[in-house]
Amino acid sequence: MAKQIRLFGMSRMTAGSCAHYHGEVVHLIGELTPEALGIADQWPAYARQAALLSSLVPRPRALVATRRLKEWDRKRVNSMGVIHRVVYAYRTSNVPEARKAALRLHAQLSGYYGAWKHEYTRLSSEVRGILSMLDEPENAAAVARLGLADEVEALRSAQAGFEEAFDGRIAEYGEISRLGDIQTRDVRRELTRLYEGIVRTVNARALVLPTDAVRTFVDTVDAMAEMYRLITLQRGKGAPKGESPGKNERNV
């Protein structure tokens, strides 16, 4: 009789082990191709469900955009600091044109001193106000006279980068909120159902149409299933009393 893939108690696996196992099966199917295994119609749903479980283990907590947000915020604060310090220093310049330019800018920037201490959104509004003010013709001339044109452009670039990162952070919050509404156990239950359907299909083909691809899939998945079955049993035996299996162990 042709060899068959044996099912095992997947419900006893940790979420991490379960995601890893199905990820390996998805990879194997991709190598052998769904068409060669006769599961072309079952494959898309299974692959999507496996990817969903993988995205939940562990559930995302840290925001990638947060790091970029901090980097751009630091850059815009640095540029604001340079502009303020240079303008402040030139107020007492012995060069009349420089002193006049500095006094003009100082008067208009004075309302923004300490802005770098404000929260992200308030500071963004203030930076936009500073840039708009410095773009006015007479102020732009004063900026150029003090050699601050490049620093103003650096501030503009930092603000644009910050706003892009802020939009990315909103998108990430939305994704985390979406995933937070998904129950891992429901995802696993559906994934197991799809997997068992694939196993039944391939096992049937192993009986009536045992191609090389089918035999390779059966042998490999059956070996994987046995390995994970033993891992599950070992974890169950070694679990501390009163604690769930694998609580203090890494996911395999």
Collapse the DSSP code of 160 into the 3-class scheme (helix H, G, I; strand E, B; otherwise coil) and give the result. helix
Same domain? 22 vs 45: yes
- Give the domain-ending residue among 178, 194, 212: 178
Same domain? 155 vs 76: yes
In a domain, 4, yes or no: no
- Amino acid symbol at 226: E
Domain count, the chain: 2
Same domain? 71 vs 169: yes
Same domain? 159 vs 172: yes
* Confidence band, pLDDT 50/70/90 cuts, at residue 80: very high
Domain that holds residue 36: 10-61+183-238
Is pLDDT at 150 greater than 50 in this prediction?
A: yes
In a domain, 247, yes or no: no
Same domain? 88 vs 37: no
Same domain? 174 vs 193: no
pLDDT tens-digit readout, 27-41: 999 999 999 999 999
Please state, in angstroms and rounded to a whole number, the distance separating the CA atoms of residues 228 and 13: 8
> pTM score, two decimals?
0.47
Collapse the DSSP code of 181 into the 3-class scheme (helix H, G, I; strand E, B; otherwise coil) and give the result. coil
Please state, in angstroms and rounded to a whole number, the distance separating the CA atoms of residues 194 and 199: 9
pLDDT tens-digit readout, 105-142: 999 998 888 887 888 888 989 999 999 999 999 999 99
- Give the domain-ending residue among 178, 195, 218: 178
Same domain? 103 vs 141: yes
Same domain? 159 vs 231: no
* 116 contacts 78 by C-beta, under 8 angstroms: no
Same domain? 37 vs 79: no
Same domain? 92 vs 38: no
Q: Give 21: exposed, middle or buried? Use CB within 10 Å, 0-12, 13-18, 19+.
A: buried
- Give the domain-ending residue among 158, 178, 198: 178
Query: How many residues does this entry show for the chain?
Result: 252
> Mean pLDDT score of the chain, rounded to an integer?
82
Nearest to 73 by CA among 42, 115, 102: 115
| The pLDDT value given to residue 249 | 31
Same domain? 74 vs 171: yes
| The pLDDT value given to residue 159 | 93
In a domain, 43, yes or no: yes
Same domain? 83 vs 139: yes
In a domain, 249, yes or no: no
* Confidence band, pLDDT 50/70/90 cuts, at residue 211: very high
| The pLDDT value given to residue 55 | 77
Of 80-94, 105-119, 220-234, which one has max mean pLDDT? 80-94
Please state, in angstroms and rounded to a whole number, the distance separating the CA atoms of residues 135 and 236: 68
In a domain, 78, yes or no: yes
pLDDT tens-digit readout, 167-207: 776 556 554 544 454 577 788 889 999 999 999 999 999 99
